[in-house]
Amino acid sequence: MSSESVKEDCFAWAARDPSGVLSPYKFKRRTTGEDDVSLKITHCGICYADVIWTRNKLGDSKYPLVPGHEIVGMVQEAGPNVSRFKPGDRVGVGTYVNSCKECEYCNDREEVHCEKGSVFTFNAIDLDGTITKGGYSSYIVVHERYCFMIPDDYPLALAAPLLCAGITVYNPMMRHGMNQPGKSLGVIGLGGLGHMAVKFGKAFGLKVTVFSTSISKKEEALGVLGADNFVVSSDQEQMKALSKSLDFIVDTASGDHPFDPYMSLLKTAGVLVLVGFPSEVKFSPASLILGMRTVSGSITGGTKVTQEMLDFCAAKKIYPEIELIPIDYANEALERVVKRDVKYRFVIDIENSLK
């Protein structure tokens, strides 16, 4: 441990019970260790995961619970062994803050798949036995391995959603070769994840079709996000017209929906990647076998691909669409996330509103 570090009060907003209602909260974070970075948080994105755990949807919430895992800010202190960051650097922290560092997945920099389980940024038990607390807070202390450099010319507020929403779609797109210009991509659902899949698809030179249950999203999909085509998924004629026309589909929808209609849109050897969490996945074996198709799943991404994505977004000027809010709007924002009433990611202005 660094002898110079002094435990400062960390100001935050926390849920105290399964109502999920957030209110001001003060606690102590660990001192900055030899390999740690202490990060003054400037912005934090709001993810549906914040709803799940503040409201104890999975039955494992540990209160008081400070949510938030799309974190960006400035380094205020670096431990003596830290080589990649120095005070003043612009840094991001994503969905996990620790892992075993020695299994095959950690060695491949796929730490999110750590054999012993990666330590989530909030509501997890850290290696020192404390409960992790997330980014709805004034600062955070994280091992340097799990921090990412935000390119100098990339706005911090816009970088926040990349740390979960962005990497969740970028990682499987890269793994399945969805960066081949001229190929065709379908994106199911147009929320925080879906809108980033559209932006990445266009940056890769793909022909992008958006599938949504809501015709109201057509103008945004085509005009703002640059999609090539928009289909109301309940319209059987529109769906039939696209039979066997897509090379890839990224499915971001977490609500329950049928899979066979989408499988029929894939070309032979097409790939559907599931990144949402419907309650079940059902499709006919024929949908898979007859077209030699692949169904794959993916969560966020390891440290290597996350940094690559941040650098790619900076180079290509890919920016999420956000609504910037003060911390005292967080409860209302979480309600709006449940209602899918956001275009397309809330970002909390921590620096200017958390006092």
So what's the pLDDT on residue 7? 66
So what's the pLDDT on residue 8? 76
Exposed / middle / buried, residue 289 (Cβ in 10 Å: 0-12, 13-18, 19+): exposed
So what's the pLDDT on residue 214? 85
- In the predicted model, residues of the chain with pLDDT beneath 50 are 1-5
Residue found under tokens 């993916």:
298
At residue 25, what are phi and psi to the nearest 5 degrees?
-155, 145
Is there a contact between 126 and 97 (Cβ–Cβ < 8 Å)? yes
Two structure tokens written together for 35: 């390999």
Is there a contact between 325 and 348 (Cβ–Cβ < 8 Å)? yes
Strand, coil or helix: 345: strand
So what's the pLDDT on residue 78? 96
Is there a contact between 315 and 292 (Cβ–Cβ < 8 Å)? no
Is there a contact between 288 and 266 (Cβ–Cβ < 8 Å)? no
Among 318, 298, 283, 202, which residue's Cα sits nearest to residue 250?
298
Two structure tokens written together for 287: 């949908």
Name 17's Cβ contacts closer than 8 Å, sequence gap at least 6.
Answer: 63
Q: Which fold would CATH assign to domain 166-297?
A: Rossmann fold (3.40.50)
Does the domain spanning 10-164+301-349 belong to CATH 3.90.180.10?
A: yes
- Is the four-CA dihedral 123, 174, 232, 242 of positive or negative sign? negative
Could you give the CA distance from residue 133 to residue 114 in angstroms, rounded to a whole number?
Answer: 20
Q: Give the N- to C-terminal CA distance of the chain in Å, as an integer.
A: 28
pLDDT tens for residues 176-189? 999 999 999 999 99
Q: Which sequence spans correspond to the domains of the chain?
A: 10-164+301-349, 166-297
Is there a contact between 43 and 351 (Cβ–Cβ < 8 Å)? yes
pLDDT tens for residues 114-126? 999 999 999 999 8
